[in-house]
Amino acid sequence: MIRRWLIATCAAVIMLGGVGTVLTVAQGGSPQVPDHFHITEYADLSPSTYGSYRNPTALAVGPDGRVYVALLSGRIYAFEDTDGDDRQDTHQLFGSEPAFPAGMAWRGQALYVTFPGQVRVLEDLDSDGDAMDDPETELFISGLPETVEGLAFDPDGYLYVSTYADCDACEPDDVRQGTVLRFNPDGSGEMLYARGLHAPHDLGFYPGTDDLFAPDDGRDDLGADAPPDEWNFIQQGRSYGWPHCWEGGSDPGWEVFCTWSADPLVTFPAHSSPAGLAFHDGTAIPAAYAGNGFVALRDLGEVYRVVVTPDGMGGYTATAEPFATGFEEPRDVAVGADGAIYVADYAARKVYCIRALPDLSGSSKRAEPFTPEPGDRLTYTLNVVAVGQGSPFTLTDPLPLSTTYVADSAWASGGTITQVGSMIRWWGVVSPNTTLTATFVVQVDAAIPTPAAILNTATLTGEEDAESPYTLRALSLVDPMRYYLPVTARNY
């Protein structure tokens, strides 16, 4: 948590017009991600063109698909990747506000941002790509604790704001420190929604629900191994124990009180400093990651994956494990509509993009009718399905023996399909979580000896797909009334 106080001090110096020093941690290695994922450096904020104090403090992906990055200075840039290589190639200054923006969330076309003591709203009203003109930026909520950080909107438009405590193990003078506050959609009606949190730096709703979650950065005075940092299911009216209770212990005399406080769903290593949080809705990522939360652990230099599972009784269970490692100081996480996971590294002054590698294993092939007569036509249907990142693919399919290709019968919903000699060749790019379909027609030889089986195998290769090539098989039985082949027709 030392870094948080250093950052807050720097922010105060900036607001006073003085000169501050940003302390960074020792450099980590190159970030590493699990098998079937890859990571790219999406944006480098080191160049002086971004001004001073250009460490990223918050991330949000906008409804326009641009990646919005808030810097310690208060500038907010919108980055865009126009050529699909997961590296930004254009950027625009979207807004320039008071120093140290700590959290961002979109509601419709408006970007809400927390600054010390306030929430501001930025909206591009004149469609020029930024919110720099009056009145495109306005104060939404004021009078909040200086320690305001994360924010999130529930499905009904209510705004939830988290605040951290400005002390390590104390009772803050402002009872709103170390809490989650709730506001009406218009910013009125402040409610102390949940308390007993030390530093809930970010907030997020489980996809498709109004169930709120927050990591919590615990106190630092109990030694190297205690207390663990936490992942909490935030419910109205609950207390989460800080400063006197923690997972596995309590201050003397507080044991009974601690039985009333809510337990964390799962814990992180002590002093790992969980910060930014984002849930993944399952788009373009393996099914096991759908609904998972991703949390930036600043002092550990890692992004953890939290597998959150509804328990069927209104609650949840959770497990946590490292997902991406080797960062210097990951500060925030955001997920794009296309399934990309973005990580802002505060100390490295970089934003990274993580995507699932393509997986084409759900692709298939079939022939109809399954039981043709000699001289009948067979229609082959090929489906290429991408799970994870969209992928260039090539499919080659030898024309079945004992058949003749029907001229000009090849068709594809995307890409290009052609006859090349005795082969059908299909190539193109399949988008994430979509299916491309191709068909072609052959005529079974009139003189084919019966009974007979026509087994045809296509080969599918996807760029960057570690599991390819795949084989896609289709089986037809000619004259099956007199002959039955004891195999099962199956797509592989």
For 136-178, what is each residue's pLDDT tens digit?
Answer: 999 999 999 999 999 999 999 999 999 999 999 999 999 999 9
For 97-136, what is each residue's pLDDT tens digit?
Answer: 988 999 999 999 999 999 999 999 999 999 999 999 989 9
Instruction: Print burial letters for 363-396: b (CB count within 10 Å at least 16), e (below 16).
Output: bbbbbeeeebebeeebebebbbbbbbbbbebbbe
DSSP state of 387: B
**2-356 and 364-478 agree in CATH topology:** no
- Range 202-219 average pLDDT: 97
Q: Are 339 and 432 in contact (CB under 8 A)?
A: yes
Band of the pLDDT at 207, cuts 50, 70, 90?
very high
Which of 139, 40, 17, 27 shows the shortest CA–CA distance to 355? 40
Query: What tokens does 418 get?
Result: 């052609």
Is pLDDT at 3 greater than 90 in this prediction?
Answer: no
- Cα 234 to Cα 229: distance, rounded to the nearest angstrom: 15
- Cα 244 to Cα 262: distance, rounded to the nearest angstrom: 13
Is pLDDT at 298 greater than 70 in this prediction?
Answer: yes
For 461-474, what is each residue's pLDDT tens digit?
Answer: 998 888 889 999 99
Q: What is the pLDDT of residue 482?
A: 62
- Cα 401 to Cα 417: distance, rounded to the nearest angstrom: 20
What's the mean per-residue pLDDT of the chain?
90
Q: Are 424 and 417 in contact (CB under 8 A)?
A: yes
Instruction: Say whether domain 364-478 belongs to CATH 1.10.1040.10.
Output: no
Q: What is the pLDDT of residue 6?
A: 38
Q: Which fold has domain 2-356?
A: Neuraminidase (2.120.10)
- Range 30-34 average pLDDT: 94
- Cα 164 to Cα 195: distance, rounded to the nearest angstrom: 10
Q: Are 193 and 175 in contact (CB under 8 A)?
A: no
Q: What is the pLDDT of residue 24?
A: 31
Identify which has the larger pLDDT, 29 or 120. Answer: 120
Band of the pLDDT at 386, cuts 50, 70, 90?
confident
- Range 316-320 average pLDDT: 97
Band of the pLDDT at 54, cuts 50, 70, 90?
very high
H-type alpha helices, 143-264? 255-258
Q: Are 20 and 9 in contact (CB under 8 A)?
A: yes
Is pLDDT at 17 greater than 60 in this prediction?
Answer: no
**Domain coordinates of the chain in residue numbers?**
2-356, 364-478
- Cα 121 to Cα 109: distance, rounded to the nearest angstrom: 10
Is pLDDT at 8 greater than 90 in this prediction?
Answer: no
For 391-414, what is each residue's pLDDT tens digit?
Answer: 899 999 999 999 999 999 999 999
